[in-house]
A and B are shown apart, each in its own frame.
Chain A
Amino acid sequence: MEPQPKRLKGSQFATDAWVAYPVLSEEQSQEVELMEAFAVPIVNKKETSRLVRELNSLYPLNDLQHLKRVRACKEKGSPHPLEVLVCLVSEAPHMKLLSLHSLLPSGDVRHDGLGDPFVVRVPARPPLTRPQFELASKHWPTSFHEDKQVTVALRGELFSSPQKAAMHMYMMSAIAAAKAGGEMGMEVVGAVVVNPETQTVIAMGHDCRGDHPLHHAVIVCIDLVARSQGGGFYSFDRYPACRFTSEASDTLENVADAERRSQPYICTGYDLYVTREPCVMCAMALLHSRIGRVFYGTTSADGALGTKFKIHSQRDLNHRFEVYKGVLSNQCENLMRSGDNIQRLQEHS
């Protein structure tokens, strides 16, 4: 019995069917960490500016610049209009009995207009994203220097329709390469390297680990890019779907080209589209090559751009790049599933 030909779900250019979300750094995506602090109600509003001045000299908020000193009590019927932050609990550890006198020696801060101190939980670090800011502000008012691009990206609205159409097209090429590799018995993974400035595909390739255990699709593409610039080490000529184009051949020699060649790293400013999240080796290979941005379709169990590690935003490493996931996610997931099926068939036969 012949297997039914697979039908593509939705139209080929249904760019509405997927959303590219950013893979943010650990710091940007982690939960809001809280610390305990002492606060005091301000009963008499008129004393506020004096209290803030005196508290700032007694307990400066050195490492907590993101915290507002005073917050308004929003609940109706609150006995006092404002509350002021005194210090972290860790800064005053010898407090046996919590009282205004033990917390604020009256020589430094006059107690006029203050109520009884209490413990609050405040955000330990400045919020980096809008979701973090919104969570942090629930605990204590926090200042936030918003990165508008991150906010828009988190909403999945960073890319315009024409940009999404181009991304769609590039990922379709990666999927086509993956399928070609799959037909040759390789793992069904494909990748495409694009120069976003000239909108040209520099290299496309697929997994070749059947012939070389380290020739993952990304590694193949990096060597093809090197070949497009007169370097490269391997020959992938026997794989028709592993190709490269030299940019210089079809564009006139111009200043930008000359600049690009003088750059020491081959993938500077380039985008990579890959059907599934790269492994540790491939992610670090992209970092060494100074890739500009990476777009992947679906996550993988040992992935190093979001799942197990975030190499693109790893502290101590000397290059950072943007990563987006979810481009043509359904098709890329189907690809992985079809890969599993092929493997199972091969194992049975």
Chain B
Amino acid sequence: MGTQGGREATSAENFCPCDDDIEKWMAKAFDMAREALENGEVPVGCLMVYNDEVVGKGRNEVNETKNATRHAEMVALDQLLDWCHRSKQDVQSVCEQSALYVTVEPCIMCAAALRLLNVPVVVFGCRNERFGGCGSVLDVSSADLPQTGATFKCVSGHRAEEAVEMLKSFYKQENPNGDSSFLLSLFFCLPILHHLFLSQDLAAIFKRSCPLAPLTKSHQTWYPGSLEGVHFPLGPFKSAILDFELICIMTI
């Protein structure tokens, strides 16, 4: 198991879970993730542990609340706060002695929330290349943000492959209809078609409508620089091609 990010040992020195703790609580987090996957939900399991007790347990609640901030970590943090109120404990001192165990690297928002509450340790499974706030996209955990709580220590890589596999199989079942693979292949050809026929910047359209980061990336790499400036005036077909692109972007 890789223990990266031990750079900020000072703040977490007095509090760091041992390997047995990590094993135990991560097993629980993975059980939660698997359960979520079996119920067709985002397979992320997440626990807040204080004093060898689970004080917060979260799963993604974005769809039912229509609130895009209801990530598993935010739900677990809310439960921790409720637990503090119920058991009349001081929020600050509980947070400073708690660890978060989660199967996937927390996103930038959740990482900032953990900092604001001064949670000192976060143990996670696989990296989150799309939103990760513990080094993958930004490193909020160690950034110089004096007004955003305390930096925290990350222990990463615990059963990472398993966490990735669960996410993969979730996103596979998300897209069950066969048409999408056809559309997907069309989609990858679009930047080239577009560049050949239209002078308008597709990137601007992608930025607004494309919900998937990997596609945006591939679009960038698909732009052949040598075609720059090649322009065939197509008149009435122009809007038809644009519409078609938008339909494809929306459908996938």
Contact = CB atoms under 8 A, between A and B. Distances in A.
Contact of B112 (A232, A281, A300, A316): A281
Interface string A271-302: 00000000111001101111000000000111
B109 A284 contact: yes
B213 interface: yes
Contact of A284 (B67, B112, B129, B228): B112
Q: Is the interface of A mostly helix, strand, loop or mixed?
A: loop
Contact of B107 (A267, A284, A308): A284
A285 B69 contact: yes
Given A284-B107, A311-B108, A265 B68 contact: yes
B99 to A, nearest CB: 18
B164 interface: no
A132 B113 CA distance: 36
Nearest to B144: A308
A222 B113 contact: no
Given A62-B225, A302-B148, A214 B77 contact: yes
Interface stretch (A91-99, A102-110, A160-168, A223-231): A223-231
Interface in B193-252: 207, 210-213, 216-217, 225, 228
A266 B68 contact: yes
Given A65-B225, A280-B108, A317 B213 contact: yes
Question: Which residue, of A62, A213, A230, A301, has the highest number of chain B Cβ atoms within 10 A?
Answer: A213
B67 A222 contact: yes
Given A214-B117, A231-B65, A316 B213 contact: yes
A213 B108 CA distance: 17
A121 interface: no
A280 B144 CA distance: 12
B109 A288 contact: yes
Q: Is the interface of B mostly helix, strand, loop or mixed?
A: loop
Given A65-B228, A288-B109, A308-B145, A226 B65 contact: yes
A132 B24 CA distance: 55
A297 to B, nearest CB: 17
Contacts of A144: none
Question: Which residue, of B91, B129, B212, B216, has the highest number of chain A Cβ atoms within 10 A?
Answer: B216
B150 to A, nearest CB: 13
A77 B69 CA distance: 66
Nearest to B211: A318
Interface stretch (B3-11, B48-56, B135-143): B135-143
A57 B147 CA distance: 56
Contacts of A317: 130-131, 137, 213
Contacts of A231: 64-67
B126 interface: no
A320 interface: yes
Contacts of A214: 74, 77, 113, 116-117
Interface string A52-79: 0000000000100100000000000000
Interface in B85-140: 91, 107-109, 111-113, 115-117, 129-131, 133, 137-138, 140
A88 interface: no
Interface in B156-187: none
Nearest to B81: A212
Nearest to B130: A318
A219 interface: yes
B116 A288 contact: no
Given A301-B147, A318-B210, A233 B61 contact: yes
A334 interface: no
Contacts of B228: 65
A287 B69 CA distance: 10
A309 interface: yes
Contacts of A219: 69
Contact of B117 (A213, A266, A290, A320): A213
Contacts of A290: 68
B112 A279 contact: yes
A280 B117 contact: no
Nearest to B70: A233
Contacts of B2: none
8 contacts: A62-B225, A222-B69, A223-B67, A229-B66, A285-B69, A317-B130, A318-B130, A318-B216
Interface of B: 61, 64-70, 74, 77, 81, 91, 107-109, 111-113, 115-117, 129-131, 133, 137-138, 140, 143-148, 207, 210-213, 216-217, 225, 228
The 5 closest A-B pairs by CB, nearest first: A231-B66, A284-B109, A281-B112, A280-B112, A318-B213
Given A222-B67, A288-B68, A318-B210, 19 more contacts: A214-B74, A230-B66, A231-B65, A231-B66, A233-B65, A233-B70, A280-B109, A281-B112, A284-B107, A284-B108, A284-B109, A287-B109, A290-B68, A300-B147, A302-B146, A302-B147, A311-B108, A318-B130, A320-B207
